[in-house]
Structure 1
Amino acid sequence: MALKSILFHHHTLDISYEILNPDAKIDMIILHGWGSNKALMKSTFAPYMDAFRHIYIDLPGFGGSTCNLALTTQDYARIVELLMIHLNASKDIIVGHSFGGKVALLLEPQVLVLLSSAGIYVSKSLKVRAKIALFKFLKLFGLAKFREFFVANDAKKLSEPMYQTFKNVVNEDFSKEFAAFEGKALLCWGRDDTATPLSSAKKIEKLIPDATLKVYDGDHYFFMHHAKDVAANIEKTFLKTLEHN
């Protein structure tokens, strides 16, 4: 594991990363989802794809990386880009799970691999909308201290900068960004995913001109159980880009 200090908006962020197969000529950046870390992604994909230089990154505020200011998804993409410049890394392949998928999209790689990506807005249930309305009502009376009883599980126990970051990124609709992507995209999804449902994958497949969707048994973390097949599909997708060069 290595650590790089990056200056961003007058704040210093320590970004933790790890590189496997350092002599490989093709770069593959792997980005985890919200609340996760690079260790999960490394444990999943490290045994595969030896032809690629694996670069596992802890996004700011997760794992071994720090975050002392509120960020947007665009900020995350810029911070990853600054780290890539330091590592002399190319945008050959970028893999993103959930929230990491939105960051990967903004980086505009040659091959975009989305694992149950966020980015398609899903309407909240009546129960969730009622909780939000009640919390806003309580805030009027100075009772915001009860926040943790109302916020999503992903937002509980967050520092103030990370809570503000969560609010910035949680309900984004990236439909226009998906439609504007000009590279090749591989979408891999869990059939029983409830966090980013399969319906989102089908919308993204229609939005991205050159996209292929692969559906697997499993939930939001399906890829941990199907890593070998996902890896094989990543390799096939990248090989197709070479055929056209």
Structure 2
Amino acid sequence: MAVKPVTYRGTTFRIAYDLVNPKGEKCLLFLHGWGSHKELMSQAFGGAFADWRHIYVDLPGFGKSPNDEVLNTEDYAAIVKLFLQTLGARVDVAAGHSFGGKVATLLNPDRLVLLSSAGIVMPKPLSVRAKIALFKALKPFGGGRLRRLFASKDAAKMPQNMYETFKKVVDEDFSAHFAAFDNPALLCWGKEDTATPLAAGERIAALMPKARLEVFEGDHYFFLKNPRPVIAAMEAFLETV
């Protein structure tokens, strides 16, 4: 693991990253999802694409990249761009899972791989909408304590700045960004995904002019549980680069 300091809007972010096949002529960037880290991505893909240089990044606030700021997805993309400039790396293909898919899209790479990307706002179940409404009604009477009661287990454990960041990014509608992406894209989705349902992938595929959607067995982490068919699909896609 290495660390590269990047200064963005007066704040220095220490970005932890790993390089695989550092002598590869073409470059693949992997971005993890919310609450995850670079090791999860390298676990799935680190042994593949032997002719490519891989860059695995811990986004600020995750893994070994600390963060005390409140950020949005555009901030994350700007920080990653600065990181790549500092590293002297030109990315040919960016691959992003879930939240990382939104960041990867904003990088506007020559080729894009979305793994069950976030960015399409799906209707929430009635029980969730009721819980949100009750939380908002009671928030003036004790926000921090109520967050521990009402939030999901993952959200309840977040530092306050990351919880505020989460609220900024969780319901972002990226439809316009997906529609504006005019380079080839491969969309890989888990058939049983409930975090970013297959309907979201179908919507992104309809929005992107040059996208192809491939569906695999599995849930939100389909590529981790059965990486071989996903790698095969990506290899076929990378042959066009």
Normalised by the length of structure 1, the TM-score is 0.95
Inter-partner Cα distance in structure 1 for 2:163 and 2:141: 21
Q: Is the 8 A contact 1:191 1:217 kept in 2?
A: yes
Q: Is the 8 A contact 1:21 1:50 kept in 2?
A: yes
Shift of 1:143: 5.4
For the aligned residue pairs, the C-alpha RMSD in angstroms reads: 1.1
SS in 2 for 1:24: coil
Inter-partner Cα distance in structure 1 for 2:169 and 2:153: 15
2:111 maps to amino acid:
V
Shift of 1:117: 0.4
Is 1:131 matched up with 2:140?
no
Shift of 1:134: 1.2
SS in 2 for 1:3: strand
Shift of 1:137: 1.8
Inter-partner Cα distance in structure 1 for 2:109 and 2:234: 13
Paired-residue identity, %: 51
Deviations, residues 182-231 of structure 1 (Å, cap 9, x unaligned): 11100000000000000001001110011111100000000013322222
Normalised by the length of structure 2, the TM-score is 0.97
Aligned partner of 1:37 in structure 2 is: 37
Aligned partner of 2:91 in structure 1 is: 91
Shift of 1:121: 0.4
Shift of 1:11: 1.4
Report runs of 4+ in structure 1 exceeding 4 Å deviation.
none
Aligned partner of 2:215 in structure 1 is: 215
Inter-partner Cα distance in structure 1 for 2:197 and 2:92: 27
Inter-partner Cα distance in structure 1 for 2:68 and 2:140: 27
Aligned partner of 1:59 in structure 2 is: 59
Aligned partner of 2:186 in structure 1 is: 186
Q: Is the 8 A contact 1:120 1:172 kept in 2?
A: yes
Inter-partner Cα distance in structure 2 for 1:91 and 1:126: 42
Q: Is the 8 A contact 1:11 1:68 kept in 2?
A: no
Shift of 1:140: 2.5
SS in 2 for 1:140: helix
Shift of 1:235: 2.2
Q: Is the 8 A contact 1:186 1:211 kept in 2?
A: yes
Q: Is the 8 A contact 2:216 2:230 kept in 1?
A: no
Deviations, residues 48-81 of structure 1 (Å, cap 9, x unaligned): 1011100000000000001111001000001111
Consecutive unaligned residues of structure 2, counting only runs of 5 or more, are none
Inter-partner Cα distance in structure 2 for 1:182 and 1:89: 22
Q: Is the 8 A contact 1:91 1:108 kept in 2?
A: no
2:10 maps to amino acid:
H
Q: Is the 8 A contact 1:114 1:185 kept in 2?
A: yes
